């Protein structure tokens, strides 16, 4: 099996300080969190930023400052910016940080109910974002919340809108998308073409079991406060790094090597180090 790429989604757009008191919000807090995650075994940071008031933001200057702060502490890490932003954010704003040419960016493959909201991803916007991602020489991570989105991705591949290398991220457990039951993950994994990489981000209580299955199945793993704030039922995680450390321990026990950022770069095919 390939070495395990651990991604940490350290902040997200929805998680609040009320639900997770140790949520990193400022560029410096995010950089400190990213450094701890990398030391614990993460090679990719999935990045959302917040404004001065702690609200989700797609402000390019905030992304620039955060990326600089992270790179100062851990120059080797792969930064994957979010083009999903927060529910309700305009597509133009969601695309803005792409001109910073991060190494990776998320690309969401469809619209879904997102808890009590709707996360809109019109086909023309998916195509537009994909074009801007490739124009900036960025590798997209394809965010898939249910089977129909994976099938949409295959249609975009056929049309040449999505180009290799392919890195599918199954985000399971969003109320409105597929739940994080093992059968759902297996259904998605069986459909992934040979040679493509996949990872799983389980939301809430699904994070740990899905991550464990992914380690065994040859997939990759995303953890972090964007998706889950708990260490175990009723116990908050003390940091993002604590969640990464557990995945590293599990991988060690299960005999799966954990990728360094350099190994992750080679596997994903990242071009903008
Ligand atoms: N905040 C969610 C609505 C991404 O980063 O691309 C979307 C999201 C996906 O977080
Ligand atoms: Zn995200």
Name the strand (E) or helix (H) holding 133.
helix 123-135
User: What pLDDT is attached to residue 272?
Assistant: 53
pLDDT per position as a tens digit, 98-151: 999 999 999 999 999 999 999 999 999 999 999 999 999 999 999 999 999 999
238 — phi, psi (to 5°)? -80, -25
User: What pLDDT is attached to residue 238?
Assistant: 98
Q: How many of the other CB atoms lie within 10 Å of CB of 271?
A: 14
Separation in Å, CA 207 to CA 40, 169, 244, 269? 17, 13, 11, 26
The CATH code belonging to domain 6-268 is: 3.20.20.70
- Quote the CA–CA distance of 47 and 133 in Å, as a whole number: 15
Query: Which residue from 7, 13, 45, 169 has its CB within 8 A of the most atoms of ligand 1, so it is best to mutate?
Result: 13
Residue 87 Cβ contacting ligand 1 at under 6 Å: yes
Radius of gyration of the chain (CA): 17
Residues of the chain with pLDDT under 70: 271-273
Of 239, 182, 183, residue with least CA distance to 208: 182
Query: Which residue from 48, 85, 95, 173 has its CB within 8 A of the most atoms of ligand 1, so it is best to mutate?
Result: 85
pTM of the predicted protein model: 0.98
Separation of CA 268 and ligand 1 centre (Å) = 20
Residue 13 Cβ contacting ligand 1 at under 6 Å: yes
User: What pLDDT is attached to residue 75?
Assistant: 97
Give the start-to-end residue ranges of the domains of the chain: 6-268
- Quote the CA–CA distance of 199 and 130 in Å, as a whole number: 20
User: What pLDDT is attached to residue 195?
Assistant: 83
Name the strand (E) or helix (H) holding 52.
none
Q: Provide the phi-psi class of 195: left if phi over 0, else alpha when psi is between -120 and 50, else beta.
A: left
**Closest protein CA for atom 9 of ligand 1:** 84
């Amino acid at each position: 099996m390939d070495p395990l790429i651990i991604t940490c989604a350290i902040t997200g757009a929805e998680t609040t300080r009320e639900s997770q008191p140790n949520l990193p919000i400022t560029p410096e807090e995010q950089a400190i969190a990213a450094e701890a995650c990398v030391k614990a075994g993460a090679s990719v940071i999935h990045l959302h930023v917040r404004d001065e008031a702690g609200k989700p933001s797609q402000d390019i200057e905030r992304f620039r400052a955060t990326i600089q702060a992270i790179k100062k502490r851990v120059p080797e890490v792969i930064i994957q910016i979010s083009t999903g932003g927060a529910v309700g954010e305009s597509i133009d704003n969601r695309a803005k940080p792409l001109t910073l040419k991060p190494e990776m960016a998320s690309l969401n493959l469809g619209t879904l109910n997102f808890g009590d909201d709707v996360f809109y991803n019109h086909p023309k916007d998916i195509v537009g974002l994909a074009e801007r991602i490739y124009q900036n020489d960025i590798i997209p991570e394809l965010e898939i919340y249910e089977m129909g989105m994976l099938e949409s991705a295959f249609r975009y591949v056929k049309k040449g809108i999505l180009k290799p290398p392919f890195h599918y991220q199954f985000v399971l457990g969003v109320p409105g998308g597929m739940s994080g039951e093992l059968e759902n993950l297996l259904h998605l994994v069986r459909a992934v073409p040979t040679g493509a990489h996949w990872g799983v981000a389980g939301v809430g209580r699904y994070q740990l079991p899905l991550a464990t299955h992914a380690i065994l199945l040859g997939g990759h793993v995303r953890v972090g406060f964007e998706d889950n704030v708990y260490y175990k039922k009723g116990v908050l995680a003390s940091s993002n790094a604590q969640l990464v450390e557990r995945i590293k321990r599990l991988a060690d026990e299960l005999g799966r090597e954990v990728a360094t950022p350099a190994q992750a770069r080679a596997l994903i095919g990242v071009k903008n180090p």
